[in-house]
Structure 1
């Protein structure tokens, strides 16, 4: 199969959409398929610097005489695509409808099913309770790749061999690819007030805008901090962490795969459902960003850090959850639909 992805990632929208498309592309390419990404130049710079990037990238080119959806459809036809995969909240009902054609199939990554008719042949949502979102109404003819069996992880998390507790040291802070609220700096400043001696690993994403300010603070404070910007070895870092204070979203599936206890901070409405389900599994706690100051977050984090039994119990609960290659399952479903279509021609 030839699969085209239409997705963006930048400081405004973060990198989560790009990362889960990358995870699916890695799986598809490892199975012998091909992947092409259509994205703006601003998004390309974040992607091309990754050593684990796969798939060709074509720059988004539109003009006043041709709307974006028409251009995307034309590219898919010229590339002889079997599938177009959309991931992003900017793709409206009208945009999706304009992409409908017999030339290829349409797959949609979705989180909360609140944007009208999806016009999809496949709907992808890896949240375990995603089946309650009434996709039968917005995608009545679609195959549903919905539930925890369809959680997508990049290959580095699927290939992780050592998740043991004995190897772990320190606290990890990570607040997404762009960290739009600059929680990284404010949480570090709050930690500095306590003069903690805990080894701290700070991870900032490629779209993080406050790198210079953060670097100056780390250099001037007395905290034992190791900082990774645009980290390409996330699985190894997380598997060496006793606790992570993290933005919710796609990162929570990575934390679970590494069996890393976490405090998940909900910073967007679309993260609530998945986070609450993760909390029920016993390996994480969930807080709402709007209800917590950075100092309150740090107090909560330090209280949990001081409870070694609770941390180990959370780790054990995480180990009981299977690490699922949802991308492979999605690829198999897409291949099945493609083969069925070809046999009916």
Structure 2
């Protein structure tokens, strides 16, 4: 099987999109012996490019203004979004010169939609979209939206072809294989002895420093709690965060962590963002204090809060050191909430926990 995947990554937009695409690519590589080509922005973090190459994926860089330079178009002529999508598509097609027809193309990119997909359809047998905004039309055979939202079944009505196979909800979450390896250690939590702090791979809104400041303000009240701080591999403030952690004896600092599933298996509570991290924590039964660090995270986080899975602290622009401190104090004063939310996390993720093989693989094999 030959597969092309279009995705972007940066310290601004984070690494969530590329990480879930990497997870899908590894599954296809293992179970379908797929040869994977990644189309990625040419200013993607070097660590991500190295990770993709180390896993045996071919990396094709897409210039920042899509194909402006490739097709001798100046940036001021690429005004509307449709044109930008078409030029991006042309750049992707140009990168496939010498490659046989792809069985599958996957696109995970908020700025690409129907116009891009129509250009790429002749280059593949099937096209799959990963989305969670439901704000634009798609021309695809498979659509994956692994988030929670009210009226999930109706979200893409009129936005995808009637024949499109829709994979909706956390039962289709693209979790790394390491999480399934820790399935035997999935359990409900009831105490608050070890807390993980991580806001994804880049933490673009600098939430980590707010949490460390809250830990410091809490003083001796938090001395009995171990905190594991994971800054993220593309976090541009790693040095500052490490310096803040250094004088705190009960805080362990990591610039990145190569076994997030194992770390989650060891903690009782987490503090972090929405996105894929929301479902990684839920899969392991870890309730979390959640900050929405991007507008596209808010709907799923609010729905998770409504179901009783998380505590939503608010959007990043309104969350402060004081917000985090108050939430931690309330948590310690009423630990029954930890068990209740942990059990709810496991209930929501149970369909995926029980699967021997990821359900998306059988859908792709059937449709590719």
Q: TM-score range by the shorter chain?
A: 0.7 to 0.9
Determine if contact 1:257/1:323 at 8 Å carries over to the other structure. Answer: no
- Is the Cα–Cα contact under 8 Å of residues 266 and 275 in structure 1 kept in the other structure? yes
Shift of 1:183: 1.0
The reply to whether residue 152 of structure 1 matches residue 174 of structure 2 is yes
Instruction: Look up the match of 2:80.
Output: none
User: Which aligned pairs between 1:201-220 and structure 2 lie closer than 5 A?
Assistant: 201-219=228-246
Q: Shift of the alpha carbon at 1:92?
A: 4.6
Aligned to 2:81: none
Preserved contact between residue 141 and residue 165 of structure 2 (Cα < 8 Å): yes
1:118 is aligned, of 106, 128, 138, to 138
Map 1:1-345 onto structure 2 (within 5 A). Answer: 1-34=1-34, 35-43=36-44, 45-48=46-49, 50=51, 54-60=55-61, 64-66=69-71, 67-76=87-96, 78-101=99-122, 103-114=124-135, 116-129=136-149, 130-160=152-182, 161-164=184-187, 165=189, 169-195=193-219, 196-197=222-223, 198-219=225-246, 221-289=247-315, 290-321=317-348, 322=350, 324=352, 328-338=358-368
Aligned pairs, number: 336
How far is 1:225 from its partner? 1.0
- Give the direction of change, closer, same or farther, for the CA distance of 1:306–1:163 in structure 2 (3 Å limit): farther
Distance of 1:43 and 1:53 partners within structure 2 = 15
Q: Is the 8 A contact 1:248 1:271 kept in 2?
A: yes
Are the aligned partners of 1:169 and 1:240 in contact in 2 as well (CA < 8 Å)? no
CA distance in structure 2 between the aligned counterparts of 1:133 and 1:184, rounded to whole angstroms: 33
Cα shift at 1:17: 0.1
CA distance in structure 1 between the aligned counterparts of 2:133 and 2:21, rounded to whole angstroms: 17
* Structure 1 residues 105 and 315, CA gap change in structure 2 (3 angstroms): same
**Residue deviations 1:185-208 (CA, integer Å, cap 9, x gap):** 122112201213121111121111
- Specify whether residues 157 and 126 from structure 1 end up closer, same or farther in structure 2 by C-alpha distance, changes over 3 A only: same
Which residue does the alignment assign to 1:341?
none
- Take 1:212 and 1:95, find their aligned partners in 2: how far apart are those partners? 40
Alpha-carbon shift at residue 145 of structure 1 (Å): 1.7
Shifted more, 204-213 versus 322-331: the winner is: 322-331
1:260–1:33 CA distance, 2 compared to 1 (3 A): same
Range with greater deviation from structure 2 (265-274 or 59-68): 59-68
Task: Report which stretch shifted further, 224-233 or 94-103.
Answer: 94-103
Ranges in structure 1 where 5+ consecutive residues have no aligned partner: 339-345
Q: Structure 1 residues 41 and 155, CA, compared in 2 at 3 Å: closer, same or farther? A: same
Look up the match of 1:342.
none
Q: CA RMSD in A?
A: 2.6
Describe the shift of the 1:87–1:303 C-alpha distance in structure 2 as closer, same or farther (beyond 3 A). same
Per the alignment, do residues 94 and 137 of structure 1 end up closer, same or farther by CA in structure 2, a change over 3 Å counting?
A: closer
CA contact (8 A) 2:105 2:126 kept: yes
> What is the TM-score when the length of structure 2 is the normalising length?
0.83
Q: Give the whole-Å Cα distance in 1 for the aligned partners of 2:56 and 2:192.
A: 34
Structure 1 contact 22–54 (Cα < 8 Å) conserved: no
TM superposition shift of 1:93: 4.3
Distance in 1, matches of 2:154 and 2:328, equals: 32
Cα distance, 1:41 vs structure 2: 4.4
- Paired residues of 1:261 and 1:283 also in contact (CA < 8 A): yes
User: Residues 22 and 53 of structure 1 are in contact (CA less than 8 Å); yes or no, is this contact kept in structure 2?
Assistant: no
CA contact (8 A) 1:202 1:228 kept: yes
- Runs of 5+ unmatched residues, structure 2: 72-86
TM-score normalised by length of structure 1: 0.88
